[in-house]
Structure 1
């Protein structure tokens, strides 16, 4: 909080643009959430990345497997893990590819590759769709998990609307959103990362303990070819949603100190490798064991399919709540950074507590309102997963890499990047079609604010 207070006191309007431009920019950087603190350790990047990635998506993986089938499902999971690890490595490498400069934000990297205006238009809309979309989905997930916890602990109690549970979940974020920067989230992020490993273990452990359901079916759930194909497309989006960390990776790396002798990419990559090992430990057992136990009868949130032992399922759902609290904040921080930058630079508002309190509270209220209005958990995953996450996680880093480094045609780097681009484009085009269909199907019987 010291950074915030001191910067708001010292921030002065320039008497002449040329005279005060540099100190004004420096003071703004010292106040904005992404650049105000650069003393993170390598393990901060581990639990920030785990928190960013292992979110609601892991619980939908058995459902995605049921729509993909054994062979395609395993192939898509493995390919996604390899491709996104590769593109994450590219982003870590590109963070300081210009000597003496750090690309602290995704859009700054885009501007370097495509130009000031075009880079902004290419990256910012996609990044905002991902981050705001994820925050909305995490609002829904938090509300669902709180409701499940309530229903499991007190099955005889009066049923409470999902709307109220989403509002309860949102109330926490009105407070936490006032934390100044990424490093101030480290304790919350660590707790969230630990919770993600725990509830993932509970999800596949309880599924394995339950064993195969009687008359379990592994065929596609839809009775029509068209339905099967569209569900397949939606499932691709579910898997893409599970690998969303790229949208905050540069912002996380910005918090790590860097010198020419010890660049930030070394500790950052160390943290990413550990995070990706944890991601694999969480994802693959949940997806495979969950599908093995329930087949195509699995719910879009595997914890909902598990009802016994009651106390364990209650604990797991509360772990999900703790985790998505951390995930929400990790994805909200870059949005706060963008909002505050625009308010200060474009609208000349003075940085300080009043601006931060009002802007961030309005953002939390907005995501809560949308989540209450459209709480389609599984379908939202498929739609956002393909429409926005495929570009930013699967192929935009490859396009930037080709634009900046210009590898020789048909070299290994050139071929690898083009394979990722083609696969990512296919994912981006197909999965929103399936996700939108799921939303339409679920919306037929939905009553607003019920």
Structure 2
């Protein structure tokens, strides 16, 4: 019964407490949610999982990788991408194996969220901490998606304005309108019931991510051919001092490490997979395919961009091409469509956590629990729940408002990403694996995993320092 309580309570989210656990342990209705979860029809395959991962991982940040490669040089740049990809893949393997856990009475249970598996294996305190970090991360990404979408839409508008009116024309457009438009679209899409119903959106978004990455890569290769030679060096961009170089390297490593952010949603993705074959086998295969494809895209895009621009590599690859404005504008359209899907991939897990918490605490509330079936003319029937409608609308509105008030949030996101990289990508997966496998302390496996965790902590601290230094330098400058 204790395991049931842990599984049940952790699925509720960060608001779980000891009283809830005690109530669950003494309740005769504990298997209710487990039964509902088990009866949920799972149709996901290795390819839908790949689409979810690619949608969550390959974001517009891929366009900043040429700049990162330029800071690190031809040797350290590609090596860093491969190393961080390997860390991400290893971490995903550790988490994949924790999805199912044996239960003596009800058969294998599922850990359908990151905080669920942390709470189950590491206790309620770690569950709260992981829940807090995961939800802050998801919320931060949502705000960043709003800002990045507005930037891409503004870039498209600028491109057409300058093309039609000349480079001297006044072409200033407020980002607020684009953010509001994005918010309206997300309010509608957020009414999709859960993560299991957005497979089509992830597939479309994944296609878009490949499209704009290939456009940036293709334009870079065309520029290299036009020049007749490649730019760049082994040591990367030279700086006035070793200290300045160190800070730029830390920022570059931070950008690369935050280009593989799917540990926070891996359990939700795995929970969409059908069985047989076992979900962990399918998820491992999907992770290998997705990370391999992603790494190839990152190496190609980062390398081509650095080879095309050398020391003048821009922070966003697409801003470096003054010609081919139609192609650049189309790439930005693809970015917008991709971010529409990414927003849902990162928000659906948070929706599930918060709404489950409310429904657990107010089981008799019709507002929280009753679902209405609506059928409008010419449209298929859809489900409407007032809790989901009100909370998700308020959530999207809050991300848009923060993005409008604080348009430089992307800079803070680097700091936030540095803070959560070690605990969510390395520490918790390692601790969960050690707990589940009952690894004996000071054995070879135990020492290697602890060393891996310590390395991740030092790496995260290094990139955090670089991100803070970069923000301070930019504000002073």
With normalisation by structure 1, the TM-score equals 0.86
Residue of structure 2 aligned with 1:195, choices 191, 201, 208: 208
Corresponding residue number in structure 2 for 1:323: 338
SS at match of 2:29: helix
- Unaligned runs of 5+ residues in structure 1 are 1-15, 446-450
Q: 1:215 to 1:89 in 2, by over 3 A?
A: closer
Q: Which stretch of the first structure deviates more once superposed, 157-166 or 72-81?
A: 157-166
What's 2:188 paired with? 175
CA contact (8 A) 2:230 2:308 kept: no
C-alpha separation in 2, matches of 1:407 and 1:23 = 30
Q: Secondary structure at the match of 2:432?
A: helix
Q: Does 1:414 align with 2:446?
A: yes
- Report the CA distance between 1:360 and its aligned residue: 0.7
State the alpha-carbon separation in 1 of the partners of residues 181 and 294 from structure 2.
29
The verdict on how the C-alpha distance between 1:122 and 1:140 changes in structure 2, with shifts beyond 3 A counting, is: same
Change (3 A) 1:400 1:285: same
The total of aligned residue pairs comes to 423
Whether the 8 Å CA contact 1:235–1:382 is kept in 2: the answer is no
Does the alignment pair 1:232 with 2:230? no
Q: Residues 214 and 385 (structure 1 numbering): CA distance in 2 closer, same or farther, change over 3 Å? A: farther
* Pairing 1:2-401 to 2, within 5 Å after superposition: 21-22=29-30, 25=33, 29=37, 36-98=40-102, 100-115=108-123, 117-155=124-162, 156=165, 158-211=171-224, 219-220=236-237, 222-258=239-275, 262-346=277-361, 349=365, 350-351=368-369, 352=371, 353-376=385-408, 379-380=411-412, 382-401=414-433
> Is this contact kept in 1: 2:82–2:295, CA < 8 A?
no
Q: Distance in 2 between matches of 1:247 and 1:362?
A: 22
Q: Give the equivalent residue in structure 1 for 2:470.
A: 438
Q: Distance in 2 between matches of 1:246 and 1:169?
A: 26
Query: What SS does the corresponding residue of 2:42 show, helix, strand or coil?
Result: coil
Give the unaligned 5+ runs of structure 2.
Answer: 1-22, 372-384
In terms of mean alpha carbon deviation, does 278-287 or 153-162 score higher? Answer: 153-162
Point out the more displaced range, 321-330 or 19-28. 19-28
Q: Is the 8 A contact 1:196 1:319 kept in 2?
A: yes
Measured after TM superposition, the shift of residue 162 of structure 1 is: 2.4
* Shift in alpha-carbon separation, 1:107–1:210, aligned structure 2, 3 A: same
Question: Deviations for 1:229-271, whole angstroms, at most 9, x for unmatched residues?
Answer: 2222222221111110111011111112336xx4212222222
Q: 1:234 to 1:39 in 2, by over 3 A?
A: same
- 1:335-373 CA deviation, whole Å, 9 max, x = no partner? 111111222223555224111011111111121222223
Aligned counterparts of 1:370 and 1:228: Cα–Cα separation in 2: 33
| Kept after mapping to 1: 8 A contact 2:73/2:232 | no
Change beyond 3 A, Cα 1:420–1:58: farther
For residues 158 and 84 of structure 1, the distance between their equivalents in structure 2, rounded to whole angstroms, comes to: 42
Q: Partners of 1:58 and 1:135 in 2: how far apart? A: 17
User: How far did residue 27 of structure 1 move?
Assistant: 8.1
Change (3 A) 1:214 1:123: same
Shift of 1:410: 5.9
CA contact under 8 A between 1:113 and 1:119: conserved in structure 2? no
Let me know the Cα RMSD of the aligned residues.
2.8
